[in-house]
Structure 1
């Protein structure tokens, strides 16, 4: 019995799976899908447009849309502006140039004028409403320049509208 061969036992290998790489990939995939879902959401912003009738934005004692300032863009860098509603006063329309002594100066002037008026009627937070109307003949650069002017002048409420009234069409044709 002494010379009996010992049973050879095979060594049991410890089978251990390292999941570190799997966890890293899982976190990367989770982050990727979270970012893509966030980027896929439609982005929008609040746009306050004036009332259709007089552009007053409700009560506030404004008559003839005195908070409105309309900028018409036409071909050859032509800008025509008017305050209020064109049907009431066709003679307020002006032809203005681009630049700091042109449209920027006029936008600042109108902003201050409306601000002073709204303070006098007890609505200090109401400001000017700028309506930008590019014609089909105007170029994209002019629209971008006007949007830059709105940002520079810190105009909070403005809209780009592509519809022209009959009076505005006549005004563009005449000037």
Structure 2
């Protein structure tokens, strides 16, 4: 591992100078063993997963399961825009499709107001409809606000054609 080599100094001096040579090969092996040991024994970061309880698809879609007064619908649009409404197909227009932002205070306030105005509170449902232009972060932000609001009934669906028509009128 280590060698001591004695050499005589040339010249008139009688002193011997000792040179030390250290072989570092075992230290390199030890370093790799330690790195391997710590890689296998450490806990890597576990991914944060949000549990989505999605129902199975039924062969026939249900009709008018949720009354419009017992729901609030969020439409996630492009450029970080979010719209919401509590209207039926016949009543929805550009005046009652309202826009808000992704601030937690605003979305939570909208959810709590809709819940307080719902005639049957145990049937209150939040519907999330992301458009093709929406991004994933906005979707997660809405899900986080639903979790903060302690509302357990929510659904995720595609935007309806009649909602998309009104939505496109507003974004232009």
Both structures adopt the same fold (TM-score exceeding 0.5):
yes
**What is the TM-score when the length of structure 2 is the normalising length?**
0.59
1:106 aligns with 110
Q: CA deviation at 1:73?
A: 0.2
Give the alignment's Cα RMSD to 1 decimal: 2.6
| Equivalent position to 2:70, from 63, 67, 70 | 67
Deviating beyond 6 angstroms after TM superposition, the runs of 4 or more aligned structure 1 residues are none
Encode CA deviations 1:26-83: one digit per residue, 9 max, x unaligned. Answer: xxxxxxxxxxxxxxxxx983649xx843233xxxxx5xx3212111001111111011
Give yes or no for contact 2:71–2:114 (8 Å, CA) kept in 1: no
Matched, 1:137 2:133: yes
Matched, 1:81 2:80: no
Encode CA deviations 1:79-99: one digit per residue, 9 max, x unaligned. Answer: 110114233343422111111
CA distance in 2, matches of 1:104, 1:86: 25
Unaligned runs of at least 5 residues, structure 1: 1-42, 57-61, 119-123
Unaligned runs of at least 5 residues, structure 2: 1-50
